[in-house]
Amino acid sequence: MKKIKIGIFGPKGRMGESILKQINNFAELQLSSLCENKKHSIIGKELEGIVVHSNLKKLVGESDVIIDFTIPEATINLLEELRNSNKQTAVVTGTTGFTKSQEKKFLKLCKGLKILQSFNMSLGINILKELVKKTAKNISEESDIEISEIHHNMKRDIPSGTALTLAESINEGAKVKKSNIYRIQSSNLLRKNNEIGFSSIRGGDVIGEHSVYFFMDGERIELTHRATDRKIFSNGALKAAIWIFNKKPGMYSLIDMLG
């Protein structure tokens, strides 16, 4: 059986290192290319027997599927390179922190390409999204809804991309669209109807914790997912790489993979 060639964009990031540890558990996959920021000290050195480079054209040419956990600017540069290539290389991306203008450019560049985007590659989080959607469908009108998330002290974006997608799931289920409100210091700020409140905590080495609260009169529902090992994300990304390999060009999510 021909193995799927996997390129990793950002192999020295937290997710990149985890993917390198887990990829040998997947018989269908073969590590083929490692691309890192040109200023990184790892450039020219070997990881898992492969010399790390900074050439996007080389990354695309050597890969059937690229797994990308970098920063928005780098992901956009990758997509621009893909559009200039004749190779039908797929991308599984978990990059977060896009501005509205970057997200618009990202979606434009994705047209005609084979892309799976998920801000969280955990299978459990994606099941949580479906539970949140179903709960919102039933009780969102009589609930005050809050989302809290906790991550390690090196995470840059607040709130997390996953928290934002949980809010999207709420609005997919709710009959009345709700707006996102980010909790800040105030001495006179009352909660309004149809808000989704966000609270973020950053500290230590927390991999990720997300909770959605539906507060009602006399009761509340809490839906929570806690990640205790980063391999759940890398395994999810590697499973996504296998899944998308034979798919037609298009924009996919982990929910599509889960059916």
What's the pLDDT tens digit per position in 29-43?
999 999 999 999 999
Lowest mean pLDDT among 49-53, 83-87, 106-110: 83-87
- Do 107 and 154 reside in the same domain of the chain? no
**Residue 175 sits in the same domain as residue 205:** yes
> Six-digit token pair at 253?
């999510």
pLDDT digits (tens, 9 = 90+) for 127-174: 999 999 999 999 999 999 999 999 999 998 899 989 999 999 999 999
CATH number at 132 reads: 3.30.360.10
Please state, in angstroms and rounded to a whole number, the distance separating the CA atoms of residues 232 and 228: 9
What is the per-residue pLDDT for 2?
87
CATH number at residue 25: 3.40.50.720
Residue 14: is its pLDDT beyond 90? no
What is the residue range of 31's domain? Answer: 4-117+230-258
- Please list the active-site residues: 151, 155
Residue with tokens 């997390």, as numbered in its chain: 160
Q: How many domains does the chain have?
A: 2
Same domain membership, residue 95 and residue 76: yes
CA-to-CA distance for 75 and 70, rounded, in angstroms? 7
113 lies in the same domain as 238: yes
The DSSP H or E segment spanning 103 is helix 100-110
11 upstream amide cis, omega within 30 of 0: no
Q: Each residue of 201-230: pLDDT tens digit?
A: 999 999 999 999 999 999 999 999 999 998
